[in-house]
Amino acid sequence: MPKSTIKGLGFYVPENIVTNHDLTKIMDTSDEWIKERTGIKERRWVNDDKLSTSLMGTYAAKKAISDSGLDKNDIDFIIFSTLSPDYYFPGSGVLLQKNLGIKEVGALDVRNQCSGFIYGLSIADQYIKSGMYKNILVVGSEIHSGGLDKSSRGRSVSVIFGDGAGAAVVSATDSDSCILSTHLHSEGKFAEELAVIKPATTFWIDKIVKNDDESYFPYMNGNFVFKNAVVRFEQVIFEALNYSNLKTEDINLLITHQANLRISQYIQKRLKLTDSQVFNNIMKYGNTTAASIPIALTEAYQSNLIKKGDIVVLAAFGSGFTWGSALIKW
Ligand code: COA
């Protein structure tokens, strides 16, 4: 049975840097509060109308394909994870396909928010193991900035989120350097604890009559999300380790979805991991949802923090609630 490996990585973030200090000019917040509660110092917010979620994903994908040494025509399936698609429909996968000029391969959109990249990676892994495809492009891309409530009313949500895109080429391999396992979960009873409710088929746009209607901005029950996140991250990391009979000491690098530095630090402490076993970059980019893991993985890889044979654990938790992990032997 073929196995799958990450053959190429790339990421793209918009040029426009928004510091915590910049946010103090538009809402009642402070650099100290944001740094202390989330670890974030700055994030990227798109300020170019031409930049879309699919276009940012395309830029990241081009870099990942180039890094893999393959040609775009070698890609035989596209998986695009996002909660901020260009259009209500069609999905962003086909738009990326158009941008890249890839002919008639399947394109699938994944709607699993912060866990979207792990879900996409898991789908790619299974398709490759089944022999159906050989080289799958997995993309996570988000533009949050346009949909945030940037007034003081929305400050507990809007300071956290950033824009960006990351991509991986997942390819068939015979080598032992491969994705060892993936683990996916969700708990729909908490679907509304972190959500954008409108517009939707239950609330079509024409029913949104009042400008002060908060329900078309992201809602997040922050404390509740935090408490669930720390439990689920730990569970799903151990699920992955146990599957391969590995221990926390065997982890060379843990990359969690960059939700909040305090969440990552809490997990690091619980798992008794050293600083060199954990990679974080939320300080620079904020929470980029489906893009956060591929951006962090690419940065870690480009900084030579991952070498052949390393055990790399990826773990995500987010809206849905959904969560998942992937264990990779590099
Ligand atoms: N600037 C200044 N003050 C703010 C603020 C901001 N941006 N946002 C909220 N506050 C205030 C609140 O109004 C509250 O004031 P009060 O005590 O006078 O009522 C106070 O800060 C504490 O708010 P609270 O929401 O309890 O803070 P917290 O420590 O829970 O931190 C989050 C808030 C959102 C940072 C935290 O809950 C969190 O990170 N949760 C997880 C979010 C997450 O990971 N989401 C993505 C999942 S993938």
Rounded Cα distance between 193 and 208, Å, is 21
What's the CATH code, domain 3-173?
3.40.47.10
Can you give the pLDDT at residue 210? Answer: 63
Q: Which residue, by CA, sits nearest to atom 4 of ligand 1?
A: 156
242: left (phi over 0), alpha (psi -120 to 50) or beta: alpha
Other Cβ atoms less than 10 A from the Cβ of 111: the count is 15
Rounded Cα distance between 111 and 52, Å, is 17
Q: Which residue, by CA, sits nearest to atom 33 of ligand 1?
A: 222
Can you give the pLDDT at residue 1? Answer: 87
**pLDDT tens for each residue of 214-259:** 777 889 999 999 999 999 999 999 999 999 999 999 999 999 999 9
Domains 3-173 and 179-329 share a fold: yes
Respond yes or no: is residue 178 known to be catalytic. no
Q: Which of 158, 117, 199, 164 is nearest to 285 (CA)?
A: 164
Respond yes or no: is residue 135 known to be catalytic. no
Share of the chain above pLDDT 70, in %: 98
What are 203's two structure tokens? 């609330």
CA of 27 to the centre of ligand 1 (A): 14
Respond yes or no: is residue 287 known to be catalytic. yes
Give me the chain's average pLDDT, please: 95
Q: Which of 260, 304, 263, 255 is nearest to 279 (CA)?
A: 255
What's the CATH code, domain 179-329?
3.40.47.10
Where does the chain have alpha helices with state H? 20-24, 31-38, 53-68, 92-100, 116-129, 155-158, 222-243, 261-270, 282-285, 292-302
In this prediction, residues 3-24 reach a mean pLDDT of 98
What are the structural domain ranges in the chain? 3-173, 179-329
CA of 291 to the centre of ligand 1 (A): 22
Can you give the pLDDT at residue 213? Answer: 74
Can you give the pLDDT at residue 278? Answer: 98
Q: Which residue, by CA, sits nearest to atom 40 of ligand 1?
A: 222
| Torsions phi, psi for 246 (to 5 deg) | -110, 160
Q: Cβ < 6 Å from ligand 1: which residues? A: 29, 33-34, 37-38, 114, 155-156, 159, 220, 222-223, 225-226, 229, 259-260, 263, 287, 317-318
Where does 154-291 have alpha helices with state H? 155-158, 222-243, 261-270, 282-285
Task: Output the pTM of the full model.
Answer: 0.93
CA of 178 to the centre of ligand 1 (A): 39
